[in-house]
Amino acid sequence: MHRYKECEVGTHAYAIGCGVITPEATCANPNPKPENEKAFICDYSACYCNPPTVRHPESKKCVPLEECPK
Share of the chain above pLDDT 70, in %: 93
Each residue's pLDDT tens digit, 7-44: 999 999 999 889 999 999 999 999 999 987 777 889 88
The DSSP 8-state label assigned to residue 65 in this structure reads G
Contact 62, 53 (CB under 8 A): yes
Distances (CA, A) of 40 to 4, 13, 17, 18, 66: 21, 19, 10, 7, 33
> In the chain, what are the domain boundaries?
11-58
Share of the chain above pLDDT 90, in %: 67
Q: What is the pLDDT of residue 4?
A: 53
Query: What pTM was computed for the model?
Result: 0.82
Q: Which backbone phi and psi does 17 adopt, to 5 degrees?
A: -65, -75
Q: What is the pLDDT of residue 3?
A: 47
Cβ contacts of 65 within 8 Å, gap of 6 or more:
27, 30, 52, 53, 54
Each residue's pLDDT tens digit, 54-66: 999 999 999 999 9
